[in-house]
Structure 1
Amino acid sequence: MFGRAEVTMANAVGVILAAGPSLRMRTDTPKPLHRVCGRPLLEYALDVAAESGLAATAVVTPAGAEAMVALVGERAGVVAAGDTVAASIVTAAAALPEVDHLLVLPADLPQLRSHHLKSLLDCHVARAANATLLVAGGTPTGVYALRRETALSLDSPAALDALVANATTCNVAGEPLIDVDTRADLARAEKALRQEVIARLMAEGVTFIDPESTFVDAGVRIGRDTVVYPWTFIEGQTEIGGRCRIGPHVHLVNCVLDDDIAVEASVLRDSRLAKEVRVGPFAHLRPGSAVGAGTKIGDYVELKNAQVGAGVSIAHLAYVGDATVGDRANIGAGVITCNFDGIRKNRTTIGDDAFIGSNSVLIAPVTIGSGAYVAAHSSINEEVPADALGIARSRQENKPDWARRRRESKQKG
């Protein structure tokens, strides 16, 4: 007895339609570049095509879509859109390997998964259909499987309309997939995918105090036993280790946090924190900042392109920009590194075990040696050698009876 040959995704290619005008979005940005959970819509389509094991994929793009072409990179081929959707499909099919079947995917279905495409191709082959439409949760998705020779014969919009009208359907269970066609759809997709991301992280051992008021991008990774508090935004490719406490009111963008870290009510971008760092509340770590193990970055502290060692205390009210701070240094309240001279940025270097007194100004480029002290309220523009004390302030002068005489003169006046 001869059975039907097993259907494999390698016997199909994909065409991603990404050239639509996006009229209902009311946008100057191509719809496939709008983001859901931190990723462009087009990236979801590229991912599902790759994860499905298709033999190859082509993306149909509009003219002048350099940003879209750059996003595709080497993950798929790119073909210019034709005058009609039918012409675009024919062009893409001709550019792809000669396999039996073609899957046509819109670029605006971020919930589309590889199992959807596998079910669609199975139905399509089993029925020997010319065209098969994927229906999810009772709602058409706009995803079609076509026979390759049928796709290549689409010589007019009318031919495509006729093919679509006579397509068989492949019904899969579950919720309908959100087709992002308006800003409201974009918001619904964002919420749905965010719930998926948080559910996955909770299954992996992460605690979310209130998932509904926490916002996590699709590319985020979090270690087990970390607790995320409400009104926290974790974006981009942020990685967080285990046993951390994040939030409330934290915003992390493309950061890397090691284990046992606490961040409260602070903003961090493109920064790295080693183990057991404490940040906040109300701290701001700008791009290029790296903080060593066990360091405290306290309230109203701003770091910018600063490399801070281990065991450092910058407890409050300080700006440390374009600086290198050694291990176990102490930066007092009100300390500022003056890194910009009006023309260029300059660096400040603070050695291990140095002590910078409150309200001091370090005028870069300048070096404070290891173990050195800077007296409070000093303005330092020259090197302070290791283990030295640097003082740069006016000597205090007391004038006896000055206040009494002033009061008496005002009473007489």
Structure 2
Amino acid sequence: MLEKFAIVLAAGQGTRMKSKLYKVLHPICGQAMVEHVVDQLEALGVSEIVTVVGHGAEMVEEVLGDRVSYTLQEEQLGTAHAVMQARGALEGKEGTTLVICGDTPLLTDDTLQQLITYHESIHSKATVLTSIEPDPTGYGRIIRNEQGVLERIVEQKDAETTELAIKEVNTGTYCFDNKELFEALETIGNENAQGEFYLTDIIEVLKVKGKVVAGYAMPDAREGLGVNDRVALAKARKVMQERINHRLMVNGVTLVDPQTTYVDVKVEVGPDTVIEGNVSLLGTTKIGSDCLITSGSRISDSTIGDSVTVTQSVIEQATLDNGGDCGPFAHLRTNASLGENVHVGNFVEVKNATVGKDTKVGHLTYVGDADLGREINIGCGTIFVNYDGVNKHRSTVGDGAFIGCDTSIIAPVTIGKGAFTAAGSVITKDVPEKALAIARARQENKEKYANRLPHK
């Protein structure tokens, strides 16, 4: 089996995106476009991936890290010129090289493997991945002879009227014999409408030398979509979302309305979980089995256990263990960690806090920078006052404690196991185990006070 290499073209600025963000870094379903490309190359078993960078090189390197090696294209002089920048890493090596654009996030490892298999089976030196497009505007056209053999590729701006009518187009992805690739690059010129060095010219160079060249039409034309503007970005996201949602459903997840369910590519969901419409599951979120996520919920980079119900709530960088429930209109923020069977009700916010098994935080409460034990009841309107204007402070509440409604807990304090706070208290000192803390002004009734007021 021949060794496989890949060159990822990621040097273009992407002016049609009209964005400060470098084109190949625009996200689709939770990942930059170029990350999707590298994912498929890794799944394919490519031994070396060289990424050609230019504008925004540092940002691309920050995203891809050491998954690939890099080479810089200082001037953007065309696709052939970009590939030449990988010469130092790949020239002279025996094997098959894929050239792929960093803005083609929908290509799959299956399609790329089919391309390679076809390329190697016919002993081709260059094989173009093609697609049949109803509207081929903007694409290079595939010119075949009467026998269907690839003759050449004509760019849109260089095409004649009859050539413009051709529906088979170049997707910008190629398979090459690695040695032949770099030898042919030496002979390419830039005598064309753009004054650029076209990688497509290699086809004619190799044919003149009597080498086998070919075109392989992919089964699903949508995979070849190149993202050059926000319209194409939205189209690519829709296709990617369809794939993700299909994968979830065939693995036992119920999506009530797949068209309005937004799930990132790295999200994991267990079987028999039901996800209603207008739900967003983002980042590295993991959701267990037998859960219910209702409409209006947004969960990002969080871990949800089994048999959990999330009702119209926002959860971000938090953990909700088995059997718990959350919402409606709850907000679990960064480092909120809720144990088994914890109940967090409506209009409750939890941040940087742990909540023990079977504890209930019913409604209209803020729990921040606190450690709550098991089987605690937190009354309505409780506030953990954690910020003094300069620093954050933590509070601790022991197992079995009962926090009365409208209690303000001024951190740092410790409330012992089985302790109580009276409703309306402002707790500023530690409360011993099983004690009752009352921290409010004593009630005083002014008899016949209303008689002193002027009558209307």
User: TM-score if structure 1 supplies the norm length?
Assistant: 0.93
Counterparts of 2:85 and 2:170 in 1: how far apart (Å)?
A: 25
Q: CA deviation at 1:175?
A: 3.4
Identity rate, percent: 35
2:228 is the counterpart of 1:234: no
- Conserved in 1, the CA contact under 8 Å of 2:90 and 2:178? no
Counterparts of 2:342 and 2:122 in 1: how far apart (Å)?
A: 65
Amino acid at match of 1:285: L
260, 268, 272: which is aligned to 1:225? Answer: 272
Give 1:5's aligned residue: none
76, 86, 91: which is aligned to 1:92? Answer: 86
Give 1:3's aligned residue: none
2:170 is the counterpart of 1:124: no
SS across alignment from 1:242: coil
2:99 is the counterpart of 1:104: yes
Q: CA deviation at 1:307?
A: 0.4
Counterparts of 2:247 and 2:59 in 1: how far apart (Å)?
A: 31
Q: Deviations over 1:59-94 (max 9, x none)?
A: 111155222112222211111124333233123143
Give 2:6's aligned residue: 14
CA change 1:404–1:139 in 2 (3 A) is farther
Counterparts of 1:336 and 1:379 in 2: how far apart (Å)?
A: 10
2:130 is the counterpart of 1:135: yes
Question: After the TM superposition, which residues 65-214 of structure 1 pair with which residues of structure 2 at under 5 Å, given as runs?
Answer: 65-83=57-75, 84=77, 85-96=79-90, 98-137=93-132, 138-153=168-183, 154-155=185-186, 156=188, 158=190, 160-164=199-203, 168-177=214-223, 178-214=225-261
Counterparts of 1:233 and 1:176 in 2: how far apart (Å)?
A: 24
Give 1:295's aligned residue: 342
Q: Deviations over 1:169-195 (max 9, x none)?
A: 112222332211110111111111111
User: TM-score if structure 2 supplies the norm length?
Assistant: 0.84
Q: Which moved more, 1:75-84 or 1:311-320?
A: 75-84
Q: CA deviation at 1:168?
A: 2.8
Question: After the TM superposition, which residues 270-349 of structure 1 pair with which residues of structure 2 at under 5 Å, given as runs?
Answer: 270-349=317-396
SS across alignment from 1:249: coil
SS across alignment from 1:133: strand
18, 22, 31: which is aligned to 1:30? Answer: 22
Counterparts of 1:96 and 1:163 in 2: how far apart (Å)?
A: 17
Counterparts of 1:161 and 1:173 in 2: how far apart (Å)?
A: 22
Give 1:50's aligned residue: 42
Q: CA deviation at 1:230?
A: 1.1
Q: CA deviation at 1:161?
A: 4.7
Counterparts of 1:128 and 1:14 in 2: how far apart (Å)?
A: 18
Unaligned runs of 5+ in 2: 133-167, 191-196, 208-212
Counterparts of 2:313 and 2:303 in 1: how far apart (Å)?
A: 15
Q: CA deviation at 1:104?
A: 0.3
Counterparts of 1:82 and 1:128 in 2: how far apart (Å)?
A: 34
Unaligned runs of 5+ in 1: 1-7
Q: Which moved more, 1:42-51 or 1:117-126?
A: 117-126
372, 390, 411: which is aligned to 1:364? Answer: 411
Q: Which moved more, 1:148-157 or 1:370-379?
A: 148-157
- Conserved in 2, the CA contact under 8 Å of 1:93 and 1:102? no
- Conserved in 2, the CA contact under 8 Å of 1:223 and 1:243? yes
CA change 1:303–1:147 in 2 (3 A) is same
Q: Structure 1 residue runs of 4+, over 6 Å off?
A: none
Q: CA deviation at 1:107?
A: 0.7
SS across alignment from 2:84: helix
2:455 is the counterpart of 1:410: yes
Question: After the TM superposition, which residues 384-399 of structure 1 pair with which residues of structure 2 at under 5 Å, given as runs?
Answer: 384-399=431-446
Q: CA deviation at 1:128?
A: 3.8
SS across alignment from 2:227: coil
Amino acid at match of 1:173: P
Counterparts of 1:126 and 1:202 in 2: how far apart (Å)?
A: 36
- Conserved in 2, the CA contact under 8 Å of 1:238 and 1:254? yes
- Conserved in 2, the CA contact under 8 Å of 1:235 and 1:253? yes
Question: Which is bigger in relative contact order (C-alpha 8 A, separation at least 6)?
Answer: 2
343, 365, 380: which is aligned to 2:427? Answer: 380
Q: Which moved more, 1:153-162 or 1:81-90?
A: 153-162
SS across alignment from 1:73: helix
Counterparts of 2:4 and 2:263 in 1: how far apart (Å)?
A: 34
Q: CA deviation at 1:248?
A: 1.3
Counterparts of 1:224 and 1:347 in 2: how far apart (Å)?
A: 38
**RMSD (CA atoms):** 1.7
SS across alignment from 2:334: coil
Amino acid at match of 2:437: G
Amino acid at match of 2:22: P
Amino acid at match of 2:214: T
Counterparts of 1:80 and 1:264 in 2: how far apart (Å)?
A: 49
Amino acid at match of 1:205: G
- Conserved in 1, the CA contact under 8 Å of 2:13 and 2:55? no
